[in-house]
Amino acid sequence: MSVGNVLGFPLGECVAKFDNTAVSKAFSNQSLYTHQGQSSALYRVTWYVCLTKAASISSWIGGVNGFQITYNPSEPGVPVTSPANPISTGQYNTPGVTVGSGVVMCAVVPGSIIGFSFGYASSGTPAVYSIHVRVEYLGDSTPFYS
């Protein structure tokens, strides 16, 4: 049995997903989800990528920065981009071996859009990869005082 919350989602519920299995490009601030709550909330963004077709010369899925999310934080300040998270398998052009995954957390204000960027570089016949992203609601981040 899941614990409910003000948005009506059980805690840990997947509220948004992005799946593409034939990608030959980078993503820049691709919108994932807009927080609809009345107060700030915590979200977990998980991602997985896998090279499915090698480039004829070379490729580097994830590029220099890898997977990053952008959002408006619950703490006062400017919009945030998560730290760079490049894929460092050492096998940048081997299907099924060039994989990456990770988890990024964010605390967002009402109306904040959670978006992602993911790099890509390829030469010759383009490399192809799959990408899967999930956004999970982890609850209201307003402090409790007793």
Domain boundaries, the chain: 16-140
Query: What confidence tens digit (pLDDT) does each residue in 13-36 have?
Result: 899 999 999 999 999 999 999 999
- Answer whether 138's CB lies under 8 Å from 33's CB: no
The radius of gyration of the chain's CA atoms, rounded to the nearest angstrom, is 17
Confidence of residue 89 (pLDDT cuts 50, 70, 90): low
Residue 37 has what pLDDT? 84
Range 16-140 classified under CATH 2.60.120:
yes
Three-state SS at 57: coil
Question: Residue 62 and residue 121: Cα distance in Å, rounded?
Answer: 8
What is the pTM for the complete model shown?
0.86
CA dihedral sign, ordered 30, 128, 132, 69: negative
Confidence of residue 1 (pLDDT cuts 50, 70, 90): very low
